[in-house]
Each structure stands twice: as C-alpha cells, then as structure tokens.
Copies of this chain bind each other. A is one copy, B any other.
Amino acid sequence: MMEGRSYYCGDVTEQQIGEKVVLKGWVQRRRDLGGLIFIDLRDRAGIVQIVFNTAVSEEAFKLAEKVRNEYVLEVEGKVIARSENTVNPNLKTGKIEIQADRLAIINNAKTPPFMIENETGVAEDVRLKYRYLDLRRPVMFETMKMRHAITKSIRGFLDEEGFIDVETPVLTKSTPEGARDYLVPSRVHPGEFYALPQSPQLFKQLLMISGFDRYYQIARCFRDEDLRADRQPEFTQIDIETSFMSQEDILTMTEKMIKRLMKEVKNIDIETPLPRLTYEEAVNRYGSDKPDTRFGMELVDVSEIVQNAGFKVFASAVTSGGQVKAINAKGAASKYSRKDIDALGEFAARYGAKGLAWLKAENEGLKGPIAKFFTEAEQSQLAAATNAETGDLLLFVADKKSVVADALGALRNKLGKELGLIDESKFNFLWVTDWPLLEYDEDAGRYTAAHHPFTMPFEEDIEKLETDPASVKAQAYDIVLNGYELGGGSLRIYKRDVQEKMFKALGFSKEQAQSQFGFLLDAFDYGTPPHGGIALGLDRIVMLLAGRSNLRDTIAFPKTASASCLLTNAPGAVSEAQLDELQLKLKAKK
C-alpha cells in the first residue's frame, strides 16, 4: 500500500489490533449514537467500522458529523478489539474497529440514486446509466475480479503449453458469412470500409500457415445482430489455434485447461475426460445440441408404439416421416392442472409444435383426454418406455424431427427449472461432436455453413459435398456447460481443392470465393499445415462461474438490448464535418 494507506479497509482484522493505521474509502453508512459516531468505511476489499469519539478527537468527531454516504474519506486511527457483544460475525473485519483520531474528507458525494448494496431492486436502466456506482456494489466488483481470475488461469495454462498470444486486427475486411459486420468508413479511401471482426478466424489460420504452431488470444469480437438478452454487440472470445493436432488432441488439451480453470477459480475438481455426445445423440436424447445434463427427463421415442394407434395425430406424424416423443415429468401430475398444461402447450407452440399431448400416470393406468385412443397394450408399452409411475406427467410432441426436438428440449429445460430438478452446485461440462457440416437455409434456397466455411468435413465425406451435402459430417465440436454453449471449434480445411469444394457447396461462384477469400486460398498454396482450434465465450464462462443470470453483469460497461450505452449515450450524432471527411451522407429518415 502506498501514499500512507496502511491496508484496504476490508483487510484489517484482529491481526492488526493495537496498530495505528491509515485507511481510505467510501462511506457505506453513518450512525450517530449519542456522543459516538460510527462510520462503515468501504473499499474494494470490504467494510470496516470506524468510531469517532469526542474523547479521542473532538476535531475528527466534528468533521464526522458532516459526512454523508459515499463521501471519500481518509481516516487515521488505532485498531481496537470490539467488545464481545458488538462483534459482527458476518464481517471479515467484525472483531475490530478503528478508533479515529484524524479524519480528512477527500471528496463529497451527492445522495446516490440507489444504495450501494449487493441486493438491489433498482431498474437495470438506472444501474447502467450510473454504471460507475453500480460497479461499487461488491457483487459487481467480485464478478469483474473473477473475470480477471479466469483469464489469468487460461493465460497461465496456455503460456505453459507454449502458446503465443498474438493480437490480430480489429480493423479488417467485411466477409459475407454469418452475422452482420460492423462497418468502419475509411477517410483515406473514401467509399471503402473496414469491418470489425466477428472472430479472428482467418488470421489465426494464417498464423498456422506461418508456422506459429500454437496461437491464442483473448480477443474482442463484434456482431451487429438484433440483440437477444444473452448477446452483446461486442464480446470476448478465448481464441485458440494449433497445428498438427488431431481433434482428440484438441479436446484433451481443452479439458486440461478447463480442469485447471475450475480448480483455480472455483476450487472444484472436474472429472476428465469430459462426457461426449454426438450431435445426433444430444438432439435425440435431450432435444438440444447444448443439453443441460444436470437432470434426466430424457426424450423417449415412442413412434413405434403409437404408429398404429387410434390417435391419428400421432400415427400420421410417424407415417409422414416425423416422430412422436415424450418426456416424463416425474411426480408432476398433481402439480400441473389442465390450465397449466395448456400454458405448457402454448410454450411448446413457440418452438413450432402444433400441439402438446399429455397423459397422467395414475394407479389405474394412464389417464387424460387422449388415453382412450390407445389400447391397453399400447398404454402399457408407453408406460414402460417412459418409465411412468403413479403421479408422473407424460408430455408428447408429434411432428417432424426438428420440431419435436426443439419443443420437447425447451419444455424439458422449463420443467427442469420449475420442478427444482437442477442441482445448481453442479458444473456439467460435456462435448457435442460430429456436427453436420452444412445446414439448408430455406429462405436463401442454399446450404450455409453450420459452423463456418473453413470447417473440415470428415475425410470420407468430402466426396459427398457434391452429391449429398446434408449428410456430410464435420470434424467440429462444441463444449457445453449446464445447457449453455461455452464454445466450439473444429479442424480446418487446409487444402485448396477441399476449400474450393466447400465454397461451391455453399453456392459461391469461383469469382466470389476468390474475391472474398482469395488471400486464404492463395495461402493454401504455400505449405499449409493441418490445423484446428477452438473458441470459448469468455462472457458466458464468467456468467456461469460467477453464478450470474445476465451477460451484462459480466461486462464492466455493457450495451443494452438496443446496442446503446446508457452511461455515455453511445452511439450518438456526429458533425457534418466528420461525415464530409468520410464522404458520407445520411439518407433522409423514412
């Protein structure tokens, strides 16, 4: 500690009893108790109690009378033990207090718009406008501190493993795939634009072509998307690329990194190797490519059982190539009224389900409006398949495969929460592997890259890129934690002809491919090693490890859902002169 400060307020304990100390901090609260003034002084380390007593210093006492919440103070005094009955066991500093003999008011403060306390009922807009006060709340500081602890652990691991931290450009080139780029007009080249990177993907591949062998960067990335609650226009990615490593090598190395991270930051031992599911298995069993495996309630395929049943909705779903699946909400029959179940049906409809059928398991068998459509044999097969016992609620969706998965997957997560099935202390990491390489985009009438256009297909599938693109699997992998995608990666294409085939499958003309990615294709000509990597979303890791429910709480100065900064009022108008320099004009507002 410098400039006369002896300790952080929160670090003074009974070790210092008898010591004369100088502390600096903010006033958490002041209480006047007839001849004594108590001030809770706060800094980033915590709170300590200061006592002002006319018997010790008349002058300090008089000054202390003027003090208000959030004033900045310098206090000098002796650390003394609190009397037995005033010890505060909830406070690290609760066994001591500071008997002040000198006080200086370093700065005043107006009454803040909200209390500086962990629990706050204030609207988020107000917190964001006064972010500098919001960040005084200990829980916010602790989250930022954990964010730093996380990057420190990751850097420590990667440094030891021989990875080189390389900065890649933020002013780069617009690419047509995926989300929208943020554009930056060039003054030197009027009419031309830089783009902010959605990821350092191409640069990290180029570094592998340069023989860097092991690269990482904790990289800011940008996406001009319509924002959802869990997206930010700028976000941070732990970006890793390696050469000459197999998928297995990369997963193993990532697991080692995660294991160390969880130990260093949370003191939790994670068992490795992590569980793995193929994409198909994840979707089949959990209705999700990022399953929350902290609870069961897996999806059960009952298509075979119901395909000939009298319930036409089920039977025709199966015969038209779809399927019927169920989840069993154990013991939930009595918790969900018909009205509640109707609400679940509306919820499922948001995911495309045309209906939500249900049965309750009672002592007498399966009951409910659709029970009558099933024979006794079918009923007992259904009960056996879903492991239904008295009191259980069975929910069914019959539709095409993707709708069944989406609707039941979402219902499963919803019920898991509502029924309290989730052990919040668990950190269930898992891999989802063997992704499809391509997705068919109905709107565009063409295939798009499921991950990105540089993902390596399985060797044996390369020839199917032309004949049966939908069936091509990628050497790609996602890491999932508690139902959230933490990150993903892949082996990359490293031969020009394969990359050209991929661009063709994505509907690029040769000219388009060359004009957009010519420099990468050219680079493939000069000795490109096999390479691959992974990128992990730092903001989301912080959110999950810090137990926050909002990405904005993991970022010091975040933007709102409309991509605004309420603190600085960015974005804002700029002068005509600035636009002139860029040779830009605003279009008349519609």
Contacts and interface: CB of A to CB of B under 8 A. Distances in A.
A180 interface: yes
Contacts of A224: 187
Contacts of A587: 190, 580, 583-585
A496 to B, nearest CB: 10
- What number of copies of this chain does the assembly contain? 2
Given A132-B206, A165-B151, A193-B574, A170 B43 contact: no
B24 A244 contact: yes
Interface stretch (A296-304, A318-326, A504-512, A524-532): A524-532
Contacts of A189: 562-564, 571
Given A165-B148, A191-B589, A173 B569 contact: yes
A557 B210 contact: no
Interface in A556-590: 556-557, 559, 562-565, 567-574, 578, 580-587, 589
Contacts of A236: 167
B180 A164 contact: no
A141 B171 CA distance: 22
Contacts of A167: 220, 236, 555-556
A249 to B, nearest CB: 4
A20 interface: no
A441 to B, nearest CB: 17
Given A173-B572, A189-B562, A589-B191, A44 B155 contact: no
Contacts of A527: 26-27, 70-72, 107-109
A81 interface: no
Interface string A199-213: 000110011011111
Nearest to A567: B519
Interface string A146-165: 01100110010001000011
Contact of A184 (B184, B246, B589): B184
A220 B191 CA distance: 25
A164 B236 CA distance: 17
A174 interface: yes
Interface in A218-243: 220, 222, 224, 233-234, 236, 243
Nearest to A138: B211
A565 B193 CA distance: 12
Nearest to A242: B2
A210 to B, nearest CB: 4
B132 A526 contact: yes
A177 interface: no
Contacts of A25: 211
Contacts of A424: none
B562 A188 contact: yes
A180 B210 CA distance: 34
A192 B233 contact: no
A136 B243 CA distance: 14
A547 interface: no
Contact of A112 (B169, B206, B526): B526
Given A185-B183, A529-B24, A159 B152 contact: yes
A118 interface: no
A72 B529 contact: yes
A144 B163 CA distance: 11
Contacts of A528: 72, 107
Given A182-B184, A224-B187, A578-B174, A525 B43 contact: no
B245 A2 contact: yes
Contacts of A569: 173, 519
Contacts of A147: 165-166
Contact of A2 (B190, B249, B574): B249
A494 interface: yes
A164 B144 contact: yes
A3 B531 CA distance: 12
Contact of A207 (B135, B180, B565): B135
Interface of A: 2-3, 5, 8, 24-27, 42-44, 70-72, 106-110, 112, 130-133, 135-136, 141, 144-145, 147-148, 151-152, 155, 159, 164-174, 180-196, 202-203, 206-207, 209-213, 220, 222, 224, 233-234, 236, 243-246, 249, 252-253, 494-495, 519, 523, 525-530, 555-557, 559, 562-565, 567-574, 578, 580-587, 589
Given A183-B184, A206-B567, A585-B587, 17 more contacts: A25-B211, A72-B527, A112-B526, A133-B210, A141-B211, A141-B212, A147-B166, A148-B166, A152-B165, A169-B559, A169-B565, A172-B565, A183-B582, A187-B224, A192-B572, A193-B574, A206-B557
16 contacts: A3-B249, A27-B527, A70-B526, A72-B527, A106-B530, A107-B495, A107-B529, A131-B206, A147-B166, A168-B557, A169-B570, A171-B570, A172-B565, A174-B574, A180-B578, A183-B185
Closest 3 CB pairs of A and B: A109-B527, A135-B210, A173-B570
